[in-house]
Amino acid sequence: MVYKVEFEIPNGSAGEAQPRQHFSMLVDEARKGVFQAAKRVPVAAGSPQYVDVGVNIECAVQESGGKAALHGEIELSGITGYSNISSISEPIVGQRKMAFNTTVELGTRTVIIDDPKAPSADPASAATRQVVATVTKVN
């Protein structure tokens, strides 16, 4: 069985109100799905190296009784600023990893992560720190 898993992930950092990011992936019930949307950023560490920044999602789906057990991890990273070291501007990379292990109703938007540590334009607003998932059966 194949499932479409859609994620809505908060975007932005403290003081910035930005739209949510939407990602979707097809996941075979017998396998783990992996999704990466990232760019390579150069960093100096003796010799030039590159770091991927963006979104990495891994998840697995197991259906039982009209519900889907959803297991996985979301990693968000991005450049949060720059530091000048010996007249070289180095990126400062911020990173958050969030694991989830939950059961959702097929076809229903469900909050799978409520991250109180997430950067938010409005700390009182749960919507800016929640990850929402929808799982639908494809075949």
Helix (H), strand (E) at residue 104 = strand 88-105
Residue 83 has pLDDT above 90, yes or no: no
Evaluate if residue 4 carries a pLDDT over 50. Answer: yes
How confident is residue 69, by pLDDT bands cut at 50, 70 and 90?
very high
Task: Parse the chain into domains and list their residue ranges.
Answer: 2-137
If residue 78 lies in a helix (H) or strand (E), which one and from where to where? strand 67-85
Residue 106 sits at the vertex; the CA angle it makes with 104 and 108, to the nearest 5 degrees, is 75
Mean pLDDT within 38-61: 85
- Is the pLDDT score of 47 beyond 70? yes
Dihedrals phi, psi of 22, to nearest 5 degrees? -120, 125
Check if the beta carbon of residue 129 is closer than 8 Å to that of residue 121: no
CB 69 within 8 A of CB 32: no
Which pLDDT score, from 0 to 100, does residue 128 have?
A: 55
pLDDT of amino acid 14: 45
Q: Which of 73, 64, 65 is nearest to 32 (CA)?
A: 73
Q: Place 121 in a pLDDT band, splitting at 50, 70 and 90.
A: very low
List the Cα angle 32/57/108 in 5-degree steps.
Answer: 85
Q: The tokens of 100 are what?
A: 């989830």
